[in-house]
Structure 1
Amino acid sequence: MKSLLNRRSVLAGPSHLVQVARATGGGAGSPPPDDSNAASPADAADAAAMPSAAANAPPADAPPRPVTTLRPVPAVPTQVSGRGVQIADTADIEWLTEEDALTPFRVFRSFSYSVSLLFHAKELAYYVALYQDGSLWRALKAADLEAAEAAFHHFEDQATRLSDGETRRAQLEAQNEQLARLIARSEAQAERLRSDLQRRGAQEQAVSTRQNQTRKDVSQLEAQRVAAQAHLNKAHRQIHQLNLTSNEWIPHLPNR
């Protein structure tokens, strides 16, 4: 008897090629086959329907060969179906925006880049749009909020990376402006201190000149005072002398 595929094993579990014991004789005097290896009527029908499988069966002493189980192939690629996100038509989004058919759920802005998570209630669809200077640049469409939020965070990270240069430029501009203000403030303070020093020096010079002039004036006045006092003393002596001279002409009168 030819080798047959065991139908029960195929239906019960993973597919295997099972070797069925070959009959020892083909004559009328041959002993009946063992009941354990006898084929059922259904197996006989399968054997008749598949002669090529029986003819190509391996030898009796070969081990059973496992057959790879077939798996279903998804109609949509796993990368897209796993995320539930697809490329959106920017013209459709612009038209829906003009018709006020989109409701913003999330908005992120970084300098000239912005990301919007938009909901189209009529189609129960979500759009994630990336804008640059207010112009629509890229857009994705998602069927559920979770996938749309993942796409939104992806565009958010992309916008953040794209605006890193502008962020650094804004920081450097602010730092340079602050340094310029500090420099101007320091220069103004230095100029004030320089002016104060110059004014103080001029005042000290004026005070010194005034003091010198005062000392000269005091010396001159002191000399004038000494000269005047000497002149006055001389005048007093002259007056005294003249008085004495005048008194000599006065006669001596006796006392009564």
Structure 2
Amino acid sequence: MRSLLSRRGTLLDNAPSFLVRQKPNGAVRVPAPAMPEEDPTSDDLPRPAPATRVTPLRAVGVSSQSAAHALQAAQIAEVEWLTQQSTLTTFRTFHSFAYAARLLFYPRDLTYYAVLYHEDAVWRVLKAGDVDAAEPAFRHFVEQAMRLAEAEMRRAHLEAQNDQFARLIAESEAHVERARVDLQRGGAQDQEVALRQQEVRKELAQLEARRVAAQAQLSKLQRQMHQLTATSNENVPHLPSAR
């Protein structure tokens, strides 16, 4: 029995480190299976089981440090109070219509806040103790704000299109009205011109008739004058010229 215990202690002293399970306050050895003395004459005794590997546990300090930097939810009143105190520094900001996202930093506690706003009011808040954890939250809020603002963008675009169409319709109606008025005025002018042309042609015919009559009368008077002149010249005596 003493020989068995001595051999057991030798095996534990020479065991590899992964067979020892670590605890925060010290290492505790895993008891090794009992190793019976070898008896060459005894074949019926069971062989010792092989040693089982035990994966060493990670240190507790690493998990607690990562948990301190992990992303977590924050109260809206917390960010509102810090904003009122003007103790937050804006690292990044995004704004689209009624939605906004900001990455804020609180220097006193080295805390980062990813905040989503609606109508300038705090809507959702996430905080972290590390910027690498807060940046994805800020980008997530930016994507959410962009997605929510798509309807506002579409509404603004449609309103602008409708206003443009309304202006084009008003301008087209004005052009049509001016063209209609021009046609009406042109038709009225055409009628007036046609009536005036008829009157002018009638007056021309009358004047032409008067001219023909006057010319005939003038020719008659000229013939009469010529005859009278010839008759008067016949009565003039032929007197001798003075030398």
Normalised by the length of structure 1, the TM-score is 0.68
Partner of 2:99: 113
Partner of 1:156: 142
Q: Residues 69 and 129 of structure 2 are in contact (CA less than 8 Å); yes or no, is this contact kept in structure 1?
A: no
Q: For 2:152 and 2:60, how far apart are their aligned partners in 1?
A: 43
Give the counterpart of 1:11 among 8, 16, 37.
Answer: 16
Q: Residues 82 and 88 of structure 2 are in contact (CA less than 8 Å); yes or no, is this contact kept in structure 1?
A: yes
Partner of 1:188: 174
Partner of 1:23: 38
Amino acid at match of 1:24: D
1:228 aligns with 2:228: no
Shift, 1:93, TM fit: 1.2
Q: For 2:127 and 2:236, how far apart are their aligned partners in 1?
A: 151
**Unmatched 5+ residue regions in structure 2?**
21-29
Partner of 1:125: 111
Shift, 1:193, TM fit: 3.5
Normalised by the length of structure 2, the TM-score is 0.71
- For 1:19-67, what per-residue CA distance to the aligned partner results, in whole angstroms no more than 9, with x for missing partners? 8465338xxxx89xxxxxxxxxxxxxxxxxxxxxxxxxx94287x4745
Partner of 1:138: 124
Give the counterpart of 1:177 among 139, 163, 166.
Answer: 163
Residues 1:10 and 1:61: Cα distance change in structure 2 (over 3 Å): closer
Describe the SS at the equivalent of 1:163: helix
1:96 aligns with 2:82: yes
1:60 aligns with 2:47: yes
Residues 1:66 and 1:209: Cα distance change in structure 2 (over 3 Å): farther
Residues 1:124 and 1:83: Cα distance change in structure 2 (over 3 Å): closer
Residues 1:107 and 1:179: Cα distance change in structure 2 (over 3 Å): same
- Once structures 1 and 2 are overlaid, which stretch shifts more, 1-10 or 104-113? 1-10
Describe the SS at the equivalent of 1:108: strand
Alignment of 1:48-87 (within 5 A): 59-60=46-47, 64=50, 66-67=52-53, 69=55, 71-72=57-58, 81=67, 84-87=70-73
Q: Residues 22 and 60 of structure 1 are in contact (CA less than 8 Å); yes or no, is this contact kept in structure 2?
A: no
Q: For 2:92 and 2:237, how far apart are their aligned partners in 1?
A: 139
Q: For 2:160 and 2:61, how far apart are their aligned partners in 1?
A: 54
- Once structures 1 and 2 are overlaid, which stretch shifts more, 157-166 or 202-211? 202-211
Q: For 1:115 and 1:200, how far apart are their aligned partners in 2?
A: 64
Shift, 1:111, TM fit: 0.6
